Structures are given as C-alpha cells and as structure tokens.
Amino acid sequence: MASLITCPHCGVRPKEEFSIRGDASPVRPAPGAPDDAWYRYVFIRDNPKGRIIEHWHHSAGCRRWLVVERDNAGSHEVYSVTDASDYAKEAAR
C-alpha cells in the first residue's frame, strides 16, 4: 500500500508526487550575521531521529512548498502538512 500525504491544496496524494528537500527547523541568520553563524546555518546540521519537520515540494502536483511534520524512525507517520508560506508567517509571530 502506498503512503499518502494530505496536501493542503490538492488533498490526499501518493508520496511519490513529493520531493523531500530537507530539515525545516534551521533559522536563517540575519544578513549582517557573523560568518560563523552562516557557516553553522549552511554546513552544520543535526541528524535527529523521531518526530521532525521537513520541507517537501509537491513537484507532481500544485508545485507548492510544504512543511511536513513526520516520524522518520520506524512508522513514518505524518502528523501535519502545512503550506510553507503559512508556516513562515506563523513562525514570524
């Protein structure tokens, strides 16, 4: 049975329509941040196990960027899917 993802724009779709693009938790440094802050942002990443948030691209559908919260260790259960622009607006509050 195929894994299904509920896109907020297209509804329930097979996971093969999506591309995982990486961890959505790092916060981009300010433009004038020191070089070591940019170095950590670009090159130093954790590799957590369990419940994580990631950027996904609905490449074979609406082509929107999404933030998917899921379990990456075992069940691969998807807990939430949010449009990336809505996620960014909420995080800015």
Asked if residues 70 and 79 have their Cβ atoms less than 8 Å apart, the reply is yes
Average the pLDDT over 35-50 and give the result: 93
So where are the chain's domains?
18-92
Residue reference for tokens 């996971």: 15
Whole-number pLDDT of residue 93: 81
If you write DSSP's letter for every residue of 43-63 in order, what string do you get?
H------SEEEEEEE-TTTT-
Mean pLDDT of 32-51: 94
- Among the listed residues 78, 75, 74, the one whose alpha carbon sits nearest the alpha carbon of residue 20: 78
Q: What's the pLDDT score for residue 76? A: 86
**pLDDT 10s digits, 44-77:** 988 889 999 999 999 999 999 999 999 998 888 9
Residue 40: pLDDT band by 50, 70, 90 thresholds? Answer: very high
**Burial of 66 per CB tally in 10 Å (0-12, 13-18, 19+):** buried
The topology (CATH level 3) of 18-92 is: Folate-binding fold (3.30.2270)
Q: What pTM was computed for the model?
A: 0.85
Average pLDDT, the chain: 92
pLDDT at 1 over 60: no
